[in-house]
Amino acid sequence: MSVSSVSASARPSDCPRTNGRSPLPDDVPDAPVLPVLGDGIRVPLAAGGEIEYAALDYAASAPALARVWDDVSAYAPYYGSVHRGAGYLSQLSTDLFEQSRETVARFVGCRPAAEGTPAEEADQVVFTRSTTDSLNLLAAALPPGTRVFVFETEHHASLLPWRDHTTQVLGAPRTPARAVELLEQALVSAPQGPRLVCVTGASNVTGEFWPVAELAEVAHRHGARIVLDAAQLVPHHPVDIGELDVDWIAFSGHKLYAPFGAGVLAGRSDWLRAAQPYLAGGGASRKVSREADGELAVEWQTTAARHEAGSPNVIGAYSIASACRALTEAGFDRIVARERELLGRLRRGLAELPEVRVLSLFGPDAPRVGVVSFVVEGWNSSHFAAALSAEHGIGVRDGLFCAHPLLRALLGAEDAEPGECGAPEAAPGERSLNAVRVSFGVGTPDEHIDRFVAAVRELVREGAKLNYRTEEGRCVPDVASAPRRTALTGGKTAH
């Protein structure tokens, strides 16, 4: 049996299924592009009853595509340890793992070796645990003396891994052109030596696109390399390493509708081959022997396996490859068009409420993916998000979204001003150094966006039905209190 036939003909009859759903037809303009697990799930409301859950926190972790779940379920009975196993399941799993690597390479446009150069010069796909893990791997592989350039607007996964290197943090630009100017100024004034620029493709806070190709051109003109944090970009928009001319990209499976514990670092192989393995152990080593003096002599792999020590997460890698195939087959033109329509629907609804301030770095007309963060006048954002969940069955995110410097810049906060991810430290009506984030993707129906806008409108105009309290760092409804409307404006209660 070939690997490709696992999901087509070898699926056990008792595998978890998806109610026979298939990708939705093109002639249903208001339908999700692809079905996801959890569609139709009902959740309890704090005051009683239940409602269909509106999952609008895709930017944190996206639900699994039904297609991905079907493929993983079909393969799971055939799971075996990869590489060097003589048994059928081990060989099948090895083929599946390496074919998944090839699928991901095609999905992100990995470059082949240049004509006349060894095959090992081709771009590599290294399977990791996440975007954070990928960027920490790259940080560990940088040549000595590398200077890293990063904007303060980055997610902490991109901002923090470079602590063992000289890092130059650039301020928050207010236009894409200014971002390019700031990087060029920094590169021109920096000392010579190996250099790396790290930048996001789409902000996890504002959703705004960054000028990646322009930043790459400036970086290369000044002898720097560039790594793209594509975690928020690859689920929504096609990404091609060659077209963008970046050296590496990093992303996570759980953002790409494949939440099975794997991530990807893809790109140039030379620094990765020259570096010590990210983890030392089996799989990363080609040969281990004892020398005459009793010391160990190790010959390390030169392929991606050099940084994949231990038993690989085959299911995680396969799930990412499955998501790549599903999104490619659905067509990014269709995905982009539908998400643009949903984004317009969402933003028009919020724009009708003067109490709502949508956060933006590049301005209201800047193109973006389906990620919107906002604050509401008179509300603590943690209280607002809690009311959306408890009273309306809508799941969003509140806090600083692991991008503290960016949120401080957008909210006009001082560095010393207290604020913590998800902690509702401010009382109702007081200023809170956090925001609410709503995000969506290929599995989001129109109705969930409409429900969200209606719920925001009701909370802004009428207040919450329940009282809320802080419990273990989270804002929770006080269900023991008599249901009543509490307008969280100025800390006063409306009877």
Catalytic site positions? 402
| Residue 287, beta-bridge partner list | 299
- Listed residue (209, 187, 191) closest to 200, CA to CA: 209
**Backbone phi, psi, residue 341, to 5°:** -65, -45
Cβ pair 332, 238 in contact under 8 A: yes
CA distance 394 to 451: 8
CA distance 412 to 406: 10
Cβ pair 260, 313 in contact under 8 A: yes
Residue with tokens 């990209």: 249
CA distance 24 to 442: 11
Characterize the bridge pairing of strands 195-200 and 147-151.
parallel
DSSP state of 143: P
Which amino acid is located at 294 in the chain?
G
Residue 236's CB is within 10 A of a number of other CB atoms, namely 30
Cα–Cα distances in Å, from 450 out to 336, 437, 460, 467?
Answer: 19, 16, 15, 25
**Backbone phi, psi, residue 43, to 5°:** -130, 155
Tokens, residue 415: 């560095």
Residue 353's CB is within 10 A of a number of other CB atoms, namely 17
Tokens, residue 127: 């399977």
Q: Where are the alpha helices (DSSP H) in 76-211?
A: 88-107, 131-141, 156-159, 176-189
Cβ pair 267, 241 in contact under 8 A: yes
* Three-class secondary structure of residue 287 per DSSP: strand
Name the burial class of residue 194, with classes exposed (0-12), middle (13-18) and buried (19+) by CB atoms within 10 angstroms of its CB.
Answer: middle
CA distance 453 to 350: 7
Cβ pair 6, 96 in contact under 8 A: yes
Residue with tokens 């152990």: 281
DSSP state of 486: B
CA distance 336 to 333: 5
